[in-house]
Amino acid sequence: MELLFATAIGLLTAAGIYLVLRLRSFPVIIGISLLTYAVNLFLFGAGRLAINLPPVLRKGVETYTDPLPQALVLTAIVISFGMTAVVVMLALGAYLSGREDSVNMDDSAAPDQENKA
């Protein structure tokens, strides 16, 4: 179970980094989302990978699942959903105004180094 879980986190991280390094804005957004999912799974796994264990310590129960990572993951999911919506709207607005989806900066858009003296 742990090997499958670690492999899933590794694949999500690798795919997310690959997409973040693309030159278009929408694959970058998808890559950031995949990295967010990988971090959420990692945090969720920090609370122990156990089935049918209570989230709180009770009398007679020796092992339990830590509820703090579950609360952190729930909060992170809500925040990442809101931030993804904001970034998608910013990228869509940039695409509609410039008719280009590229995230690289060409030489004409770079600040002039001669005027900084």
| The pLDDT of residue 34 | 94
The Cα-based distances of 1 to 4, 35, 96 in angstroms read 5, 21, 45
Average pLDDT over residues 67-79: 86
What's the whole-model pTM score?
A: 0.73
- Per-residue pLDDT tens digits for 82-109: 999 998 898 888 888 878 777 666 656 5
Q: Which residue has the higher pLDDT, 65 or 33?
A: 33
Average pLDDT over residues 35-44: 91
Handedness of CA 101, 104, 109, 111 (dihedral sign): positive
Indicate the domain borders of the chain: 2-52+64-99
Under 8 Å between Cβ of 75 and 68:
no
| Bridge partners for 102 per DSSP | 24
| The pLDDT of residue 19 | 93
| The pLDDT of residue 51 | 72
Give the 3-state DSSP-derived string for 21-55, with helices as H, strands as E and coil as C: CCCEHHHHHHHHHHHHHHHHHHHHHCCCCCCCCCC
Q: Which two tokens stand for residue 67?
A: 């509820």
Is the pLDDT assigned to residue 35 strictly greater than 70?
Answer: yes
**For residue 23, how far is the Cα from the chain centroid?**
18
